[in-house]
Structure 1
Amino acid sequence: MEKYKILIIEDDPIIQTELQVLLNGNGYEASAVTDFTSVMQAVKNTHPYLILLDIKLPQESGYSICSQIRSFSNVPIIFVTSCNTDMDELNSILLGGDAFITKPYNTAILLAKISSLMKRAYPIEQIERLNWQGAILHLESSTIEYDGNQAELTKNELKILYYLFKHAGKICSRNDIVDYLWDNQLYVDDNALSVNINRIREKLAGIGLTNFIKTKHRQGYTI
C-alpha cells in the first residue's frame, strides 16, 4: 500500500531527523534533501505529495525554491521556519505556500496542518485503488480484486476494507472501526460490524482470498 510521500527541505540535521521520525511514525513516507545544489531535481525525482520547506537554506532561499516549484507543480507546501514576522508569512503566501508554521513548532499542530492539506489536495475519490498482499481495493467501482477475480462491495463493506487497508499490518480495534464509520455518516454498531465482517469474508473467500481478515482476540481485526 502506497504511503503519502513528504519531502523535507531543511538544512538543520537535528530538525531534519526529528521531522522524519515524526512523519514516518505517523504513517507517512518522509525523505529529506541532502544536496542543496540540486533541490529541484530532488523534488522532481521524489514526486512528493507534500513539502515541508524552510526559508533560510544554504544555496537559495525557501522563497526562491517555492517559486520554482510553483512553475511546474501544485504540490502542497508548508513553510516551517524560524522567520516569524508578518512579512515572512505574507511572502510565503504570495509565492504559493499553503501554510506557515514557526519554529519551535507544535508537533500536533504540524500533523493537523499536514492532514488537512492532504485531505483537501487528495480526496479519497481521487485515490483509485489500494493494494495489499495481492488484493486490490477499487474505490471508484466499490469492488475488491484478487488473482483476476472481483467481488462487489456495499458502502459499509467498502469503508471497512478501506480502513483496514489504510492500517494494513496493524491491529484495528472494533471501537476504532465503528467510530470511523460513524464519522463518515455510516451508522454501524458493534453487532452490525460483526455481520459486515462476516459478509466481507464470504465475498473474499469467493474470489480466493481466505484468512485475509484476521481476528485478534479481544483486540480487533488486522489484514
Structure 2
Amino acid sequence: MASIFIVEDNQAIISEIKTELSKWQYQVKTVTDWQNVAGEIQESGADLVLFDITLPSFDGFYWIQEVRKQSQVPIIVISAADIDSNVMHAVAAGADDYLMKPFSMTVLVAKVQALLRRNQQTGDSDQLEWAGNRLNVLTNELTNDRGTAQLTPTEGAMLAVLIHNCDRTVSKEKLLEWLWQGGKYLNENTLNVNISRLRAKLDTIGLKAALRTERGVGYRLVTDYD
C-alpha cells in the first residue's frame, strides 16, 4: 500500500484529499511539526508528497529544496497561486508535477497514480547505458567518467525514454503519453521546465550537447555529441 504525505495547512482540503485517497487504499500522513517538514517526510518513508506553497512556516519552495537534499521522492505541488507564474519556480525547486486549486479529485488521483506507476517501472535492468553513460533507473543516478548527476524521478523517467529511443526524435506528445497519461492532466510548462532542468544536470557531467531540441517536434538524445 503506497503512502502519501500531505504538506498542507488547510484542514478542509486535507480531509477531502485524505478521504479520496483512502478510497484507493493509499495511506495518508500529514505534518505535525511545521519547523521539521523535510525531516518528517524523510522519517515517514512516503512514496509521494503533495506540497502546498503557502505554509505556516517557510513556503513550499523552501521545503521542496530541503526534501531534495536528502530524497528523490516524487512531489506534486498543489497551490492556489497562478500556475504560469509559479510552475517554473516549483519545478525548478524539485517538484515533478503541478496542480492548481481548485482541482478535481479525479485529476489529483490520476496524477498520483501516474507518478507512482512511473516511479515503479524499472524495465528489465536496473541500468540503462548509452555512449559510455549509465543511468540507474532505481536511484535515478546518471554517471560517466566525468562524475555523477542525481536526477529526480521525472528527469530519470524522461531520460530513460530518450535512451530507449537514442538517436531518434521523441515527440513532445510521446513523452507526455508515456510520462503523464497522454498529457490529459498536464500543463505543458511542466514538461518544458523538466527538460530544461534535465539539460542543466546533463551539463554538469559534460553532456550539454547530448540532448537536442528538434524545434516544433520534440527531443533527441544523441550518441555523437563531442
Count residues in correspondence. 124
The residue number in structure 1 matching 2:106 is: 108
- Cα distance change on mapping 1:60 and 1:116 into 2, 3 Å: same
CA contact (8 A) 2:3 2:27 kept: yes
The Cα shift of 1:125 comes to 6.6
If asked which structure has higher relative contact order (CA below 8 Å, sep 6+), I would say 2
CA distance in 2, matches of 1:25, 1:124: 27
Cα-Cα RMSD: 1.5
Q: Which residue of 2 aligns with 1:61?
A: 59
Give, in whole Å, the separation in 2 of the partners of 1:21 and 1:96. Answer: 27
1:122: Cα distance to partner? 1.3
Q: Counterpart of 1:91?
A: 89
SS of aligned partner of 2:77: strand
Partner of 1:176: none
Aligned to 2:35: 37
Match of 1:49 in 2: 47
Q: Deviations over 1:80-137 (max 9, x none)?
A: 11012412111111111111001111111111111110011112879xxxxxxxxxxx
Letter in 1 for 2:61: Y
Runs (4 or more) in structure 1 with deviation over 6 Å come to none
Match of 2:71 in 1: 73
Q: Gapped runs of 5+ residues in structure 2?
A: 125-226
Measured against aligned partners, the alpha-carbon deviations of 1:155-203 in whole angstroms (never above 9, x if no partner) come to xxxxxxxxxxxxxxxxxxxxxxxxxxxxxxxxxxxxxxxxxxxxxxxxx
Measure how far apart 1:45 and its partner are: 1.3
Q: TM-score, normalised by structure 1?
A: 0.53
* Contact map agreement 2:38 2:67 (CA 8 A) in 1: yes
Residue number in structure 1 paired with 2:11? 13
Partner residue in 2 for 1:161: none
Q: What secondary structure, in the 3-state scheme, does the structure 1 residue paired with 2:21 have?
A: helix
Matches within 5 A, 1:1-223: 3-123=1-121
> Any conservation in 1 of the 2:42–2:71 contact (CA below 8 Å)?
no
Corresponding residue SS for 1:58: coil
Stretches of structure 1 lacking an aligned partner (at least 5 in a row): 127-223
